[in-house]
Structure 1
Amino acid sequence: MTQNAAVQIATAYFEAWTSKNVDKAAEFLTEDVVITAPNGTFKGHDGFHAFMDGFVKMLTGVSDFTIFGDDTIAVAWYDTHLQPVPSLVAGERVTVTDGKISRIDITFDQMPLAQAFGGAAPAHDARDATS
C-alpha cells in the first residue's frame, strides 16, 4: 500500500521531533507555518521552536502512533510520554501545501499537565525539564 503525500511528510516530521531533532522537524515546515494548540497559537519557525524546544526536553517517548490522510491533510493520533506525566494522548491535523507542512492543529488533554504543574497548564517552556 502506498502512502499519500501528506501522510509521508507528516510521518517524517513526527519521526524527527519524536527523536528530539527539532531542527530536522522544522525542515518539513513552511516559513509561515501556523500551529494551534490548547496552550496557544505559534507562527513561523520561531513560533515552532517556542512551542517545541521545551516540549522535547520533557519527552521520554511516543507510542501507539497512528496516521492516515490524503495528499493535503494527515491526521495523527498518539500517546506522548513526558517526564511530568506518564501519558498524554494527542491528536494532530497536519495540512501540507506545496510539499511542506503549512498548518498543524493539535489537541490534547491539558488536565494531566495542569495537575503536574500545580493547577494551570503552562506553555511548554515554563519548566526547564532535563533530558
Structure 2
Amino acid sequence: MADESPSTISPKTIVRDYHHAWTSGDVDRAMSFVADDVFCRAPGVDLRGKEAYREFIAGFAPMLTGITDIADFADDNRVALFYYPETATTATAPAAEFFTVSGGLICESVLIFDRLSYGPPDQDEPHEID
C-alpha cells in the first residue's frame, strides 16, 4: 500500500493484504486496513469498533500455525475469502469471511467458522453407538 491512495487500491487487494497481515501475526498492520467503526458478525458475538475487532483477531492470531487458502471472490466492494486456519488442535476446519470495503477500508465483516473445532479437545472417553 506504499505510494497508492486507498481509492486506487482494489477492495480485493485491501482484503488480501489485511488477511495476510493478521494470519502472519501482524495484527497492527492488519488493523491499518480496518475502519474505526467496523462491524463484524462472528459466531456467538457481534463486534463493533476497531478495538473490539482488534482484540478478537489478536486473541486468535497467536494460535495459528499455518493457513491454507481455498479461494477468494470479489464483486465490486465486497470480497469473500475461504481458507483453512491451522492450529495445534485443528487443520481441517474451514473458515469463510465476507467483507465490505468502503473508502479504502474494511467497514464490515461476516466471519463464519465452527467454534467447536477450535475449542479444547473432548476429554471424555469415546462413546459407542448402539
TM-score range, shorter chain: 0.7 to 0.9
Code of the aligned partner of 1:49: R
Alignment of 1:72-111 (within 5 A): 72-111=77-116
Alignment deviations for residues 23-75 of structure 1 (CA, whole Å, 9 cap, x no partner) = 00000000000111103111212111221111011111110342111331001
Which residue is equivalent to 1:43? Answer: 48
What percent identity do the matched residue pairs reach?
30
Which of 55, 64, 67 aligns to 1:62? It is: 67
Per the TM alignment, residue 115 of structure 1 is displaced from its structure 2 partner at its CA by 5.3
TM-score, normalization by structure 2: 0.80
Between structure 1 and structure 2, the one with the greater Rg is 2
Contact 1:6 1:73 in 2 (8 A): yes
Which residue is equivalent to 1:16? Answer: 21
Alignment deviations for residues 86-117 of structure 1 (CA, whole Å, 9 cap, x no partner) = 33210010000111100010101223124537
* Structure possessing the higher relative contact order (Cα contacts under 8 Å, 6 or more residues apart): 1
Contact 2:73 2:81 in 1 (8 A): yes
Q: Which residues of structure 2 form unaligned runs of 5+?
A: 1-8, 124-130
Code of the aligned partner of 1:101: I
Misfit runs of 4+, over 6 Å: none
Which residue is equivalent to 1:5? Answer: 10
The CA distance in 2 between the partners of 1:23 and 1:116, in whole Å, is 30
Would you say 1:25 and 2:41 are equivalent positions?
no
Q: Cα–Cα, structure 1 residues 117 and 46, in superposed 2: closer, same or farther, change >3 Å? A: farther
| Root-mean-square deviation (Å) | 2.0
